[in-house]
Amino acid sequence: MAFWKSTRALLGRVRWFSLIILISTPALSLYGLRTTPLRVQTLLWVNVFAALTFTALSHVPGITAGYHRLWSHRSYKASRPLQYLLILMGASAVQGSVYWWARGHRSHHRYTDTPLDPYNAKRGLLYSHIGWMLVRPAVRPGHADVSDLRNNDIVQWQHRWYFAIIAVVGFGLPVAVAGLGWGDWAGGFYYAAMMRITLAHHVSGSVDFSDRDAHYLGETPFDDRKSAKDHFISALLTMGEGYHNFHHQFPMDYRNATKWYQYDPTKWFIAACAALGLASHLRTFPENEISKSELTMELKKFKKVQDDIRWPPGLEELPVVSWETFQRQAEERPLVIVSGFIHDVGEFVERHPGGEKLLLKKVGKDATAAFCGGVYDHSNAAHNLLAMMRVGILLGGVEHVKTVSPGETLRIVERMF
Where does this chain bind Zn ion (CB under 5 A)? 211, 228
Least Cβ distance, residue 319 to Zn ion (angstroms): 55
Nearer to Zn ion, 101 or 371 (CB): 101
Element (H, E) at 125: helix 125-126
Least Cβ distance, residue 268 to Zn ion (angstroms): 18
- The answer to whether 97 touches 71, Cβ cutoff 8 Å, is no
Contacts of range 408-412, beta carbons closer than 8 Å, 24 or more positions apart: 408/311, 408/312, 411/306, 411/311, 412/299, 412/302, 412/303, 412/306
Cα–Cα distance for residue pair 165/171, rounded to 1 Å? 9
The three-state secondary structure class of 241 is: coil
Q: What angle do CA 197, 201, 204 make, to 5 degrees?
A: 110
Cα–Cα distance for residue pair 34/27, rounded to 1 Å? 11
Cα–Cα distance for residue pair 230/234, rounded to 1 Å? 8
CA end-to-end span of the chain, whole Å?
A: 54
Residue 228's CB is within 10 A of a number of other CB atoms, namely 27
The three-state secondary structure class of 320 is: strand
Residue 211's CB is within 10 A of a number of other CB atoms, namely 27
- The answer to whether 326 touches 337, Cβ cutoff 8 Å, is yes
Q: Which residues of 23-33 are buried (b: 16+ CB within 10 A; e: fewer)?
A: eebbebbeebe
Per-residue DSSP letters for 376-405?
-B--HHHHHHHHTTEEEEETTTGGG-----
Helix 153-160 crosses helix 80-92 at what angle (to 10 degrees)?
Answer: 30
Nearer to Zn ion, 192 or 200 (CB): 200
Per-residue DSSP letters for 242-298?
TBHHHHHHSTTSS-S--STTS--HHHHHHHHHHHTTSEE------HHHHHHHHHHHH
